[in-house]
Chains A and B, each alone.
Chain A
Amino acid sequence: MSQGPTIGSMEVHSSLSALEGVCKVILDLLGRYKYGDEDIFAVHLALEEAFSNAVEHGNRGDPNKTVRIDYAIDDKRVELRLTDQGNGFDPQKVPDPRLEENITEARGRGLLLIRAYMDQVEFTPKGNSVRMVRMRHPEPAPQ
């Protein structure tokens, strides 16, 4: 039997220590809607990367700022929107970490991973809010 959507939001201090609690809320919901391990891994990774970007780049490590997480989850899709209080950025200007000149940089892979694991990724024109959607993927057949 299909379950209705769960819609909610959280606003947390802009600190990486808040990430675990945020992940717990979202991943518990995915468990409730019986998403598989692949979907849970993908959403977890994208959420971690987006939250870290919001704290470190968006809010520039200012713990007095906040990150808002809006979510809408149902049987078919997981939609997350993360909004920071920074000045935004132009995602087109983020260097490709796979290029030879960047591949041994310690940072800069978050956006690439978000785009790889989520089916839709959109930034607001200001660039301080990202909306990302993962559709439920079929579970691989048992070996």
Chain B
Amino acid sequence: MAELKPSISVEYTEKATIVRFTDRKILEERDIRALQDSLMSLVEQAGPLNLILDFSNVEFLSSAILGLLIRISKRVAEQKGTLRLCGINPRIYEVFKITQLTKVFDIHKDIDSALKGLP
């Protein structure tokens, strides 16, 4: 499993690339920018990609992270890939519900369910 600074780990499986956020909170602007650079480079290197983002460790996020996720999802779609989110705790899921991003993102309970039915 590869470790990327500042705050993700990446696991390559047969069906998908699984990115786990390893920080409980991603707050600093520079960390968000670095995170976006890391994720974008993953997406762009791979071509069509099944990407799963695992939020199991994340206890706090702000709209800056939601913006990052939107940018990533657009890039994945341009590359004809698939993006799924999983492991989102109820408090953070509420943020997705309030912003109605539950309509935009394909959100799964955990990695096992996110892996099901991938192309």
Contacts and interface: CB of A to CB of B under 8 A. Distances in A.
B4 interface: no
B100 A113 contact: no
Given A105-B70, A112-B98, A49 B63 contact: yes
B67 A17 contact: no
A45 interface: yes
Contacts of B73: 104
B28 A106 contact: no
Q: Size band of the B side of the interface?
A: 20 to 34
Contacts of B99: 97-98, 109, 112-113
Interface in B53-110: 60, 62-64, 66-68, 70-71, 73-74, 91, 95, 98-101, 103-104
B46 interface: no
Contact of A52 (B62, B71, B91): B62
Nearest to B77: A104
Contact of B98 (A20, A44, A103, A116): A116
A124 B58 CA distance: 35
A75 interface: no
A20 B28 contact: yes
Q: Which secondary structure dominates chain B's binding surface?
A: helix
Contacts of B27: 19-20, 23, 48
A110 interface: yes
B112 interface: no
Contacts of B28: 16-17, 20
B64 A52 contact: yes
Contacts of A106: 67-68, 70-71
A98 B99 CA distance: 6
Given A98-B99, A116-B98, 14 more contacts: A17-B29, A17-B30, A38-B91, A41-B60, A48-B27, A49-B62, A52-B62, A103-B103, A103-B104, A104-B73, A107-B63, A109-B99, A112-B98, A113-B63
Interface of A: 16-17, 19-20, 23, 37-38, 41, 44-45, 48-49, 52, 97-98, 103-107, 109-110, 112-113, 116
9 contacts: A16-B28, A41-B60, A48-B64, A49-B62, A103-B100, A106-B67, A110-B63, A112-B99, A113-B99
